Amino acid sequence: MSYLYLLDTNIISELIKNPRGVIFSKIKSVGEDTVCTSIIVNVSSICGI
């Protein structure tokens, strides 16, 4: 599997705040299989770091 987009904390935060916004539309247009994020971003989003 090849990912084209690595989502950072700011993008994940915006997606959480606005789940049907621009970020959602972009992910939908490129396909969810082409995006990923790092474990550090995941933990910081969960813990609010």
Predicted confidence (pLDDT) at residue 14 exceeds the cutoff of 90: yes
pTM of the predicted model as reported, rounded to 2 decimal places = 0.74
Portion of the chain with pLDDT greater than 90, in percent: 55
CA 49 – CA 35 distance, rounded (Å):
22
Token pair 């959480």 in the structure block, residue = 16
CA 47 – CA 33 distance, rounded (Å):
25
Kindly compute the dihedral angle of the four CA atoms of residues 29, 4, 36, 40, in this order, to the nearest 10 degrees: -140
pLDDT tens digits, 17-40: 999 999 999 999 999 999 998 887
Residue pair 11/23 in contact (Cβ under 8 Å)? The answer is: yes
